[in-house]
Amino acid sequence: MHFPAACIVSICLILSLCLVTGSSVMIIVFEQSDRTVLIPEAIVYADGKIAGKTDINGAFSLDFEGYRPALRVVKGGYTEWTGSPAENDTAILVPLQVRNSTLHVEVFDADTFVPVQDAYIVITAEDGTRQEARSGSEGKADLGLRADQVYSIEITAPNFQAAHDTVVTGGDLTNVQYSLVRNDRISIRVLDSAGSFPIQSAHIQIDGIKTGTTNDRGILISNTSRNVEHTFDISAEGYESVHVTRTISFEDQVVDFPLVKAKSTVFVSVYNRDQKPLSNASVLMDGVLLGDTNEFGRLMVPALEIRQYEFVVNRDGYKKNTLSFTPGKETGELIIVLESEFTDLEVFARDAHGGPLKDVTIFLLGDAQETLNTCGTDVNGTCLLPAIEGKMYRIRAEKGGYYPNSTPADTQSNPNTIILHNPATAGTDPTGSFPLIPVAAGLVLVVIGAGLYLFIKGRRPRRKSRTNRRRSL
């Protein structure tokens, strides 16, 4: 409250005329820097005890008896005053010096703890006076205030909710911190268009800036200005990319973006180990027969979703091949190599003496004794025939000057030995079955003939000799 200096002097003179006993003193409290500013609510202490407070005019009448008490005047925001009234004082002028305090404000994002730059800070005192400031790059601002005063503070910043508080300044420095909650926060949710299930690890760009990827719930939380048009680019493995422009309203909390599964055409190419294409190879995908490869060993599979499939390829004479394959977004080729079902059946041709025979023609015979394959022996008497592992066959060997021979054979008996005889060695080796047949048959016939002869001979009556008869007689 402001009064002219002459008023203060007049008050003191009036009080000095009215107070004649000296048993009371009028205390007038004002600002030292401006004597026209009277200070109400200043606390007056007498001999360490509260005697009272100054009124709206900054005045307080202190009554006392017998002695002059020690006085102390205190007011928040001011330095305190101490003293005692003089013997004849009827009024005491108490100047209080304003005590200043620096309010240090720090503003940061409540989620990221990143300083908020350019936050607008407004400080309002109880008497309505206000000060303003803006936070710097580090989210800080300093305001000069009176110490020990109550202030209202309001902080606003773009894309943040406003913060309000009451601050009581302390001594030389008062530190306060405020975390602002964003009001531009939205949840971007990416879903499968058909199944409406969340798509994890979807990549999101907003206005050409990489924002992040969705979590296991298909959600990415983003700070996006509202009521502003934004461009969203969303992509995920196995899906068609999305490029869309959208304005986020203040009511939007969760924004959904459905993605359509991408399609791909795959060419299945089947080769043998020698990189020759295999036709008529059956192709199954996830247990469903797609068809057979053409003369170029290829089969087209259109409109596949971008996910993992199981392919199974079969062909006569080759081992089945099973593999997993995930097509890409572009047309691709799946190359499958089939290993031959056949393995080498080894044949060793030798003569009756165990020596190797060269240039022997070996026939591999099927169940109906049809010829499946042939080979010729080398200088070591060996040759190889393709055969199914574990299957029993019959092999036949032929060479000029030798009797043909045949014997059972399989891959597990490698090498399969077969013996050829010539006329000179026929019958010398019981393993040479074909040359022994006529010999054995001849022996059987000789034995049978001899038996018949002896049998017939034994049935004929025998004549007694005359000499014997004479002797008997």
Contact assessment for residue 172 and residue 101, using Cβ atoms and an 8 Å cutoff: yes
Q: Is the pLDDT of residue 50 over 60?
A: yes
Same domain, 55 and 12: yes
Is 442 among the domain residues?
no
- What is the pLDDT at residue 470? 29
Same domain, 29 and 79: yes
Q: Is the pLDDT of residue 209 over 60?
A: yes
Q: Label residue 436 by pLDDT band (50, 70, 90).
A: very low
Q: Is the pLDDT of residue 246 over 70?
A: yes
Same domain, 166 and 201: no
- What is the pLDDT at residue 299? 95
Q: Is the pLDDT of residue 415 over 90?
A: yes
Give the CB-side neighbour count of residue 261, counting CA atoms within 13 A: 14
Q: How far is CA 36 from CA 10, 141, 354, in A?
A: 13, 33, 140
* 466 contacts: CB under 8 Å, gap ≥ 6: none
Give pTM, 2 decimals: 0.40
CA distance 96 to 42: 10
Is 436 among the domain residues?
no
Q: How far is CA 333 from CA 310, 336, 384, 396, in A?
A: 15, 10, 36, 45
Same domain, 151 and 78: no
Same domain, 115 and 156: yes
pLDDT tens digits for range 15-25: 444 444 447 89
Rg from Cα positions in the chain:
59
Is 348 among the domain residues?
yes
Burial letters 213-228, b for 16+ CB under 10 A, else e: ebeeebbbebbbbbee
Same domain, 138 and 191: no
Is 467 among the domain residues?
no
Q: Is the pLDDT of residue 278 over 70?
A: yes
Our count of domains for the chain comes to: 5
CA distance 246 to 226: 10
Is 333 among the domain residues?
yes
Same domain, 398 and 370: yes
Q: What is the CATH number of the domain that holds 371?
A: 2.60.40.1120
Contact assessment for residue 318 and residue 278, using Cβ atoms and an 8 Å cutoff: yes
Q: Is the pLDDT of residue 302 over 50?
A: yes
In the structure encoding, which two tokens stand for residue 348, read together? 């060793």
Contact assessment for residue 132 and residue 63, using Cβ atoms and an 8 Å cutoff: no
Mean pLDDT to the nearest integer, 425-432? 57
CA distance 58 to 30: 7
CA distance 197 to 191: 5
Direct distance between the N- and C-terminal alpha carbons of the chain, in angstroms, rounded to an integer: 199
pLDDT tens digits for range 370-386: 999 999 999 999 999 98
Q: Is the pLDDT of residue 161 over 50?
A: yes
- What is the pLDDT at residue 21? 46
CA distance 417 to 426: 18
- What is the pLDDT at residue 430? 45
Given 125, 155, 180, which residue is the final one in a domain?
Answer: 180
- What is the pLDDT at residue 453? 65
Mean pLDDT to the nearest integer, 341-363? 93
Q: Is 438 helix (H, G, I), strand (E, B) or coil?
A: helix
Given 155, 180, 205, which residue is the final one in a domain?
Answer: 180
Looking at this protein, which amino acid is placed at residue 54? T
Is 431 among the domain residues?
no
Q: Tell me the average pLDDT of the chain.
A: 84
Helix (H) or strand (E) run with residue 8 in it: helix 5-18
Secondary structure E strands in 157-287: 163-168, 173-180, 185-192, 203-206, 209-213, 219-223, 229-235, 242-247, 254-259, 263-271, 282-285
Q: What is the CATH number of the domain that holds 327?
A: 2.60.40.10
Same domain, 242 and 294: no
Q: Label residue 75 by pLDDT band (50, 70, 90).
A: confident
Same domain, 202 and 254: yes
In the structure encoding, which two tokens stand for residue 434, read together? 């074909």
Same domain, 246 and 281: no
In the structure encoding, which two tokens stand for residue 37, read together? 């500013």
Q: Is the pLDDT of residue 450 over 70?
A: no
Contact assessment for residue 96 and residue 30, using Cβ atoms and an 8 Å cutoff: yes
Is 456 among the domain residues?
no
Q: Is the pLDDT of residue 4 over 60?
A: no
Same domain, 279 and 354: no
Domain that holds residue 234: 185-259
Q: Is the pLDDT of residue 438 over 60?
A: no
Q: Which residues lie across from 364 on neighbouring strands?
A: 373, 395
Mean pLDDT to the nearest integer, 401-406? 94
- What is the pLDDT at residue 442? 55
Looking at this protein, which amino acid is placed at residue 234? I
Mean pLDDT to the nearest integer, 131-142? 93
Give the CB-side neighbour count of residue 458, counting CA atoms within 13 A: 6
CA distance 339 to 121: 78
Given 320, 337, 354, which residue is the final one in a domain?
Answer: 337
Q: Is the pLDDT of residue 229 over 50?
A: yes
- What is the pLDDT at residue 378? 95
Is 82 among the domain residues?
yes
Closest among 242, 266, 237 to 255, alpha carbons compared? 242
Where is mean pLDDT largest: 99-103, 142-146, 296-300? 296-300
Q: Is the pLDDT of residue 433 over 60?
A: no
The CA angle 142-147-149, to the nearest 5 degrees, is 100
Sheet holding 140-146, edge to edge: 140-146, 100-109, 173-180
Q: Is the pLDDT of residue 467 over 90?
A: no
Q: Is the pLDDT of residue 194 over 80?
A: yes
| Cis bond upstream, residue 115 (ω within 30) | no
Q: Label residue 472 by pLDDT band (50, 70, 90).
A: very low
Mean pLDDT to the nearest integer, 351-380? 93
Helix (H) or strand (E) run with residue 405 in it: strand 405-409
User: Which of 128-132, 154-158, 327-331 has the weakest average pLDDT?
Assistant: 327-331
In the structure encoding, which two tokens stand for residue 383, read together? 């040759």
Same domain, 319 and 288: yes
- What is the pLDDT at residue 270? 95
Contact assessment for residue 416 and residue 395, using Cβ atoms and an 8 Å cutoff: yes
CA distance 278 to 227: 62
